Structure 1
Amino acid sequence: MRVREHDVVVYGATGFVGRLLAAYLAEHAPRGTRVALAGRSRARLEEVRRGLPAAARDWPVVVADAADEDALRALAESTTVVATTVGPYLRYGMPLARACAGAGTHYADLTGEILFVRKAIDECDAVARSSGARIVTACGYDSVPSDLAVHLLHERARHDAAGGLLDTTLHARAKGGVSGGTVDSSRAQLEAVATDRRAVKTLFDPYSLSPDRKAEPDLGKQRDPMSVFRDADTGDWVGPFVMASFNSRIVRRSNALREHAYGRRFRYRELSAYGDGFVARQRANVFTAGLGLAMKAMADPRTRPVFDRLAPSPGEGPSEKARRSGWFSMKVRTTTETGRRYLATVTAQGDPGYAATTVMLGEAALCLALDGDRLPPAAGVLTPATAMGDALVNRLRARDFTLRVEEIPGA
């Protein structure tokens, strides 16, 4: 890769999450890291820059509209990494992803959109493999904790000669707000489904993001659970996790990109966990019912206007106090082919969709820009685990994230 003008460009720096990311990099990027702010309005970019810590006052600004392919190409050619917060990615993300793939520029985003990732694979993977670009999707709460947790389980099982992973389940708990961007991404996928019936098959296929669908094992139905039940292993009441359908496909893609190193009988699912007892069960029922109603309201043209008025708008976000008070905890249990059992734990302080996600995307961008000799040898449309692996694990640990694996006693 030739010498570039910038190390990291924050694209979408005038948006809510873009501002958070710029502020994070101003505080935590190593001294001398060349960061630029990019978006479609020079005036707004300069306004954002004025509000950042002193370390960012001399950062350059780059004007590039999401629909201007020439400007995006020039942007990509100027930097080692682009970290983009501009979504919904299905509407606005492909021109930038294509530009980065063609320019050999690493790319990190926050998408939680199955259809966008599938489109990026189809249009960018071969080009990125040829240019050496790492096009890394899902670098926030979706899907870094899920992907790295299973990565760590695999590494531990391999170290212990415990065999491949079999049934693997993630239990998610969190305190945080609903992102307006996440809601808008769901709208974008619904719009795509309305005009392309093939998109329905992509959304419901558990291996829809795999590099070679025909090479995947037939393990029967792997549908995301949509009802409340008591987990026999933990005793917790559990129900559907809102991002399970996306995260699970990212994790399965990681397995496939590693030539099924996790195992040919690896089965994976994600659930929301509520704890034990009557109150936990009622909480699970209420949340699950509310989730179902929200999905139906968003999908039905008759009720969508009401839903849109009540849902958070893109660009809206919680206060600084609310962002600080949030947290998430993910516990992933697996059984291996030799019968040994392990538990991976990933936790962090801060609202998952904003504060914690900002750290994950910021460290992913720095990892891609600065840790080249410590990254796995890979290029193409990748996942966090296959693009960065232990390098990103170590960076997040240094930012007070918990990422650990332990063997479950008596297994």
Structure 2
Amino acid sequence: MKLAIYGANGYQGKLIVTEATRSAEVILVGRDAARLREAAATIGLPEADVRPAAADDHDALVAAFREADAVINCAGPFTPTGAAVVRAAIAAGRHYVDTAGEQSYLKEIFDTFGAAAEAVGVTVVPAANDACVPADLVAGLLAERLGPLEEISSIHVITGGGGPSRGSLRSVIESMDLIKAGGLGYDGGAWRVGIPARHTSIILPGGSEAVPVAKFPLCEVVTIPRHVQVRHVEGLAEAALSARLSVPLDPAIIAGLPEGPTEEDRRTQRFTYVIDAVATDGRHGRGVVQGPDTYGTTAVIAVESARRLAANPAKPGVLAPGQAYDPAGFLDSLLPHGVHWTIEVGGDFGVASLDVRR
């Protein structure tokens, strides 16, 4: 199997290349040949296949992607350039995933490329990152157990890990207006900004005190309603994180920051993603995904996403993770990487445990 990795010289890109080489051949694609070769040497792949291609060079992208079985795009921010890479992957007839976390970009890909991908038999799964994939898959499993849902709330809490990468901060700039507005919510069959939050605090697994949360533009708000029968979906993050990311960022300052957190910082990071569901009959369910190192976990999930599409193609089109992959099977593939998941149903989220992964 061969994977083309666009943006391979970036912080997230190098992590993905390293992960991909455990099970596949790689093609390193990006706009600067010298930086690609430098990245390849840093990773320990001095003879790597390097294909320079800017995002606006459609023919060069198509030529590079045709040499692979699937494409992974990790060149953020995605809002200005991601659609061009998706278009090239479809033109090359290759399955596509990306690591985007920009909610408006994600909705654009679903709204724009479904018919084109279907026409050539290509599957596109955007937002194949540490949060959207497991949250979307867990939401699907909750719906299987609870039936039609009144609401789903997805809540992100991240501790430790040093600062974000430069690429992540540039993506924040692209999403600043949406972050300040609380992001898109889903209600009554439509996505829109300005839907009031139904929850302002959460008691985390193992905790006893409520943690303040605020609306936040999470990608799973866009993906979950595409395969789950639900009336209302909202994304929430710890209020302190939302407040920090709502402060305007100076691009010149970002340019002077480290490329990303150190390996030691990443080892100290922990994430908890809670997916709370309420069925139309009033029953409650909770899914929890916990693990280390958001950047390392994103690399694992992006590679696993592309590998699965190449080995066992899903139906063509732009799909949510829950439409493209077996939920429990995919989640279980993350266990060796320290990512654990649980699902419980009951009035207090613990009365009846239906499925547990430790």
Partner of 1:247: 219
Q: How far has the Cα of 1:18 moved from its partner?
A: 0.8
Partner of 2:94: 105
Q: How far has the Cα of 1:83 moved from its partner?
A: 0.6
Deviation digits for residues 287-314 of structure 1 (CA, Å, limit 9, x no counterpart): 26xx44752x42xxxxx6xx44555768
Q: 2:245 and 2:272 mapped to 1: Cα distance?
A: 24
Q: 1:174 aligns with which of 158, 170, 180?
A: 158
Partner of 2:299: 358
Deviation digits for residues 49-72 of structure 1 (CA, Å, limit 9, x no counterpart): 23335xx56542222122211101
What is the TM-score when the length of structure 2 is the normalising length? 0.82
Does the C-alpha gap of structure 1 residues 205 and 142 become closer, same or farther in structure 2, counting only changes over 3 Å? same
Q: How far has the Cα of 1:8 moved from its partner?
A: 0.7
Q: 1:20 and 1:232 mapped to 2: Cα distance?
A: 30
Partner of 1:397: 335
Partner of 1:131: 120
What is the TM-score when the length of structure 1 is the normalising length? 0.72
Amino acid at match of 2:6: Y
Residue 324 (structure 2) pairs with residue 387 (structure 1)? yes
Deviation digits for residues 134-173 of structure 1 (CA, Å, limit 9, x no counterpart): 1111111342232122122123x1xxxx422223333332
Q: 1:153 and 1:25 mapped to 2: Cα distance?
A: 31
Helix, strand or coil: the match of 2:334? helix
Partner of 1:236: 210
Residue 19 (structure 2) pairs with residue 47 (structure 1)? no
Q: 1:335 and 1:122 mapped to 2: Cα distance?
A: 28
Q: 1:321 aligns with which of 251, 264, 272?
A: 264
Maintained 8 Å contact 2:185/2:235: no
Maintained 8 Å contact 1:181/1:313: no
Q: How far has the Cα of 1:345 moved from its partner?
A: 1.4
Amino acid at match of 2:99: L
Partner of 2:170: 184
Q: 1:105 and 1:9 mapped to 2: Cα distance?
A: 10
Partner of 1:271: 236
Q: 2:244 and 2:40 mapped to 1: Cα distance?
A: 41
RMSD: 3.4
Q: 2:174 and 2:315 mapped to 1: Cα distance?
A: 30
Partner of 2:356: none
Q: 2:331 and 2:202 mapped to 1: Cα distance?
A: 32
Partner of 1:3: none
Partner of 1:150: 139
Residue 275 (structure 2) pairs with residue 332 (structure 1)? yes
Unaligned runs of 5+ in 2: 353-358
Partner of 1:301: none
Helix, strand or coil: the match of 1:17? helix
Q: How far has the Cα of 1:232 moved from its partner?
A: 12
Does the C-alpha gap of structure 1 residues 11 and 235 become closer, same or farther in structure 2, counting only changes over 3 Å? same
Helix, strand or coil: the match of 1:102? helix
Residue 341 (structure 2) pairs with residue 369 (structure 1)? no
More strand per residue:
2
Q: 2:306 and 2:350 mapped to 1: Cα distance?
A: 37
Structure exhibiting the larger radius of gyration computed from Cα positions: 1
Amino acid at match of 2:221: R
Maintained 8 Å contact 2:107/2:222: no
Residue 280 (structure 2) pairs with residue 341 (structure 1)? no
Helix, strand or coil: the match of 2:80? helix
- Equivalent positions of 1:57-76 (< 5 A) are 58-76=47-65
Amino acid at match of 1:366: R
Deviation digits for residues 76-113 of structure 1 (CA, Å, limit 9, x no counterpart): 22222111111211212222110112332111111122
Q: 1:222 and 1:325 mapped to 2: Cα distance?
A: 35
Amino acid at match of 2:292: Q
Q: 1:315 and 1:102 mapped to 2: Cα distance?
A: 36
Helix, strand or coil: the match of 1:89? coil
Identical counterparts, % of pairs: 24
Maintained 8 Å contact 2:2/2:70: yes
Larger CA deviation: 135-144 vs 80-89: 135-144
Deviation digits for residues 259-311 of structure 1 (CA, Å, limit 9, x no counterpart): xxx3243x2223335xxxxxxxxxx5xx26xx44752x42xxxxx6xx44555
Q: 2:204 and 2:269 mapped to 1: Cα distance?
A: 29
More helix per residue:
1
Q: 1:240 and 1:92 mapped to 2: Cα distance?
A: 29
Does the C-alpha gap of structure 1 residues 313 and 335 become closer, same or farther in structure 2, counting only changes over 3 Å? farther
Helix, strand or coil: the match of 1:238? strand
Larger CA deviation: 138-147 vs 115-124: 115-124
Q: 1:124 and 1:239 mapped to 2: Cα distance?
A: 33
Does the C-alpha gap of structure 1 residues 166 and 235 become closer, same or farther in structure 2, counting only changes over 3 Å? farther
Q: How far has the Cα of 1:219 moved from its partner?
A: 12
How many matched pairs? 343
Does the C-alpha gap of structure 1 residues 58 and 395 become closer, same or farther in structure 2, counting only changes over 3 Å? farther
Q: 2:113 and 2:102 mapped to 1: Cα distance?
A: 16
Q: How far has the Cα of 1:245 moved from its partner?
A: 1.8
Unaligned runs of 5+ in 1: 1-5, 194-198, 209-214, 274-283, 299-303
